[in-house]
């Protein structure tokens, strides 16, 4: 019990004092205590109650977490309500999956865009849900009440999960709400978030990808940026305003709060505020974790995803149907590999590991000054170093075979492993049951929404990558298979799978199911390769998982000790928890930056940059003729700035990460001035260490969003629905 009280006391100490205004993703329930004074000094004109309130309408009620499915277990993006009829803005890339699913060759909304003229034309976006935070509360004491010092790490996590489920069920009010409890500061605090989740969400409008994705992967993470990264949805409810499954009888949601949209634009040093659901940061990661990521984990995933997207690109650019089919998958993979590429470069360039090592040295000195601290924290950093080093050694042997085994016929073959195991038991009844279970397999489903030539080439290239990554000593079983049976030609192995495997086509799978034979599966080249990959992983996976559990436990201890260290040595320092897909607020200002010596980037970019980047026929830099005509004529209407120019995007110092995509960036009055959609290349290390001189959020300007809706698309019905404001 004493430890619990000590922890709470230290938490209070560590969360008081002056904060650096631009850094931090803060929990809204603490805004009045921790942030409000600084925000007010910077220009905020709203009261704490107008920002976050449980009992009254507040700004938080306009912020929406977007997830797949009907539970708020992880938000991939953020949206914001911008009208009294449930209209919601988010990023184009956030709506990309829904737009892709609704697109066909005849109605290609990815290429052509889509604009509903009235409610009846809005399209159900199946699978996407919109979550509104009702309240959050501190449940640390309740969670810690079931823990004791004799528990192992696994026992502790199990006890936490059981207690969390109990608390969540009690707060759900028989299913009315969707509560979720999350750990903070590496499991040193726990908070419950109670949501209402609306599953009837409909597509209202989207620009063509040539606007919404202008610049493609080339411009991703880069400034200046000229991407109109927005799409528009609407949240629907039943007649009483409650969440309900899709029904033609549902009505547009009458929200508790919606954001006005400002035409005032931005100036250098203007106050800015972003609310949203950032996914993951690792600001308390040690230098050892950084080394592991940069030297092992990131390169492995980067190489695999880059290969896959390169193959997709080759076929997607040739065929509109293939482009629609793979658009969302390719976008996600490409975003990841480029993110990892940037992190590998900038974590080293910005010397993040070195700065973390300096902190660790100070922490170690503080620990060694007290025997009690030595007992609790003395081995933490050494243990982390040892386990990260081991993880780095085995990571390639886990992730390469894991991803290759998920490719084409090899992945399908894996699903027949249980049948083979049962057949080898020689139990007639069990074998009969296993054969009958095969009848339930839908062979056609394996090949639905796939393009054979693309999938075949992916298999060939993935096997080549795998073969060239490991030598005979590192991967003897697969290496010997290629050398002995295929005379060292891994492409011959791939072709054998594609031409002769049971699992290479729906027809051959159906024929096998009609007359199953376990021996045929065991000799099948796809199944043989799958087994070599499983065997490759088996030697590493158990110790890898054990090391990761030790890393988790010691990260928990390190952050616990670090908070005590700061409370004692820097009592005025405020700490904020890592992002974990819960509602956060960040605040900062509009600001330019200097990425390198003698280079200065402005804080805004204009539509003139679209003309400069425009390449006719290029899949990343082509734009519609109508947009070119409007820009050349400077026909911007009320959306032009005081110089008659159209601002496309602007920079701010707000602290964001993935999941903040689509978040509203607001001015001092809580009015929408843009949508956050990206970070900048020079600060790709920012998820692990905030870079105040370099780190910027890239936002699409609200005036450009309205210009595209109004002047380009002619969707004046949507303009009329918004609350548009402009200062006198």
Rg (CA), the chain: 27
Buried b (16+ CB within 10 A) or exposed e, 378-392: eebbebbbbbbebbb
Query: In this structure, which long-range contacts are made by residues 600-603, counting pairs with CB atoms below 8 Å and at least 24 apart in sequence?
Result: 601/223, 601/224, 601/651, 602/224, 603/266, 603/268, 603/650, 603/651
CB contact at 8 A, 674 and 650? yes
CB contact at 8 A, 649 and 67? no
Pairing of strands 231-237, 599-601: unpaired
Q: What angle do the packed helices 476-485 and 452-469 form, to 10 degrees?
A: 110
Indicate the length of the chain as a whole number: 728
What positions carry a catalytic annotation?
93, 229, 661
Residues in contact with 694: Cβ distance below 8 Å, sequence separation at least 6, in sequence order = 350, 593, 595, 680, 682, 683
CB contact at 8 A, 703 and 230? no
Q: 50: buried, middle or exposed (CB in 10 Å: 19+, 13-18, 0-12)?
A: middle
Buried b (16+ CB within 10 A) or exposed e, 689-720: bbbeebbbbbbbbbbbbbbbbbbbbebeebee
CB contact at 8 A, 195 and 129? no
Distance CA 505, CA 200 (A): 37
Distance CA 529, CA 498 (A): 13
Name the helix (H) or strand (E) containing 677.
Answer: strand 672-679
Distance CA 649, CA 351 (A): 29
CB contact at 8 A, 381 and 360? yes
């Amino acid at each position: 019990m004493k430890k619990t009280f000590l922890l709470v006391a230290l938490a209070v100490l560590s969360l008081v004092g002056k904060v650096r205004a631009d850094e931090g993703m803060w929990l809204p329930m603490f805004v009045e205590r921790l942030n409000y004074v600084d925000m007010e000094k910077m220009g905020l004109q709203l009261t704490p109650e107008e920002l976050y309130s449980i009992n009254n309408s507040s700004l938080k009620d306009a912020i929406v977490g977007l997830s797949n499915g009907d539970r708020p277990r992880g938000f991939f993006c953020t949206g914001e309500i911008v009208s009294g009829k449930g209209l919601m803005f988010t990023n184009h890339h956030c709506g990309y999956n829904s737009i892709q699913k609704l697109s066909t060759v005849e109605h290609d909304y990815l290429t052509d865009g889509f604009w509903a003229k009235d409610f009846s034309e809005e399209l159900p976006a199946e699978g996407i849900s919109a979550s509104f935070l009702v309240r959050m509360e501190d449940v640390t004491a309740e969670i810690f009440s079931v823990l004791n010092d004799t528990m192992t790490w696994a026992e502790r996590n199990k006890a936490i999960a059981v207690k969390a489920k109990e608390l969540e069920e009690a707060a759900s009010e028989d299913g009315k709400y969707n509560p979720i409890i999350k750990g903070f500061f590496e499991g040193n605090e726990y908070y419950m978030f109670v949501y209402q989740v609306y599953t009837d969400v409909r597509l209202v409008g989207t620009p063509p990808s040539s606007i919404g994705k202008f610049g493609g992967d080339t411009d991703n993470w880069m400034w200046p940026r000229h991407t109109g990264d927005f799409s528009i949805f609407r949240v629907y409810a039943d007649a009483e305003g409650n969440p309900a499954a899709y029904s033609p009888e549902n009505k547009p949601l009458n929200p508790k709060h919606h954001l006005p949209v400002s035409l005032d634009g931005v100036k250098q040093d203007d106050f800015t505020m972003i609310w949203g659901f950032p996914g993951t940061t690792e600001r308390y990661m040690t230098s050892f974790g950084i080394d592991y990521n940069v030297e092992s984990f990131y390169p492995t995933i980067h190489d695999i995803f880059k290969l896959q997207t390169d193959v997709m690109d080759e076929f997607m650019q040739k065929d509109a149907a293939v482009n629609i089919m793979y658009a969302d998958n390719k976008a996600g993979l490409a975003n990841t590999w480029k993110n990892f590429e940037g992190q590998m470069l900038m974590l080293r360039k910005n010397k993040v590991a070195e700065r973390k090592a300096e902190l660790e040295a100070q922490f170690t000195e503080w620990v060694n000054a007290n025997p009690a601290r030595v007992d609790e924290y003395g081995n933490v950093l050494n243990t982390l170093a040892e386990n990260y080093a081991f993880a780095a050694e085995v990571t390639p042997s886990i992730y390469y075979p894991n991803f290759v085994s998920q490719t084409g016929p090899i992945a399908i073959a894996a699903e027949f492993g249980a049948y083979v195991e049962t057949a080898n038991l020689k139990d007639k009844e069990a074998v009969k049951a296993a054969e009958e279970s095969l009848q339930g397999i839908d062979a056609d489903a394996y090949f639905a929404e796939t393009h054979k030539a693309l999938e075949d080439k992916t298999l060939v290239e993935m096997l080549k990558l795998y073969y060239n990554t490991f030598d005979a000593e590192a991967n003897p079983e697969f290496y010997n298979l290629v050398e002995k049976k295929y005379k060292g030609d891994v492409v011959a192995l791939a072709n054998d799978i594609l031409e002769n495997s049971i699992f290479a086509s729906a027809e051959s799978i159906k024929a096998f199911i009609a007359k199953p034979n376990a021996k045929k599966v065991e000799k099948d080249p796809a199944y043989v390769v799958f087994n070599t990959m499983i065997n490759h992983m088996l030697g590493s996976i158990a110790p890898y998982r054990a090391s990761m559990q030790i890393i988790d436990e010691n990260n928990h201890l390190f952050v616990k000790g670090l908070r005590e260290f700061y409370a004692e040595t820097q009592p005025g320092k405020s700490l904020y928890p890592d992002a974990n897909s819960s509602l956060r607020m960040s605040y900062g200002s509009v600001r330019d930056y200097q990425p390198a010596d003698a280079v200065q980037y402005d804080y805004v970019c204009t539509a003139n940059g679209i003309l400069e980047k425009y390449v006719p026929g290029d899949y990343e830099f082509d734009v519609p003729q109508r947009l070119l005509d409007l820009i050349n004529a400077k026909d911007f209407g009320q959306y032009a700035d005081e110089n008659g120019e159209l601002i496309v995007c602007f920079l701010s110092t707000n602290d964001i990460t993935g999941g903040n995509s689509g978040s509203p960036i607001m001015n001092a009055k809580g009015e929408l001035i843009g949508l956050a959609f990206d970070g900048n290349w020079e600060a790709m290390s920012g998820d692990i260490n905030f870079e105040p001189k370099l780190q910027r959020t890239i936002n699409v300007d609200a005036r450009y969003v309205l210009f595209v809706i109004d002047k380009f698309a002619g969707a004046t019905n949507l303009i009329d629905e918004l609350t548009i404001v402009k200062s006198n």
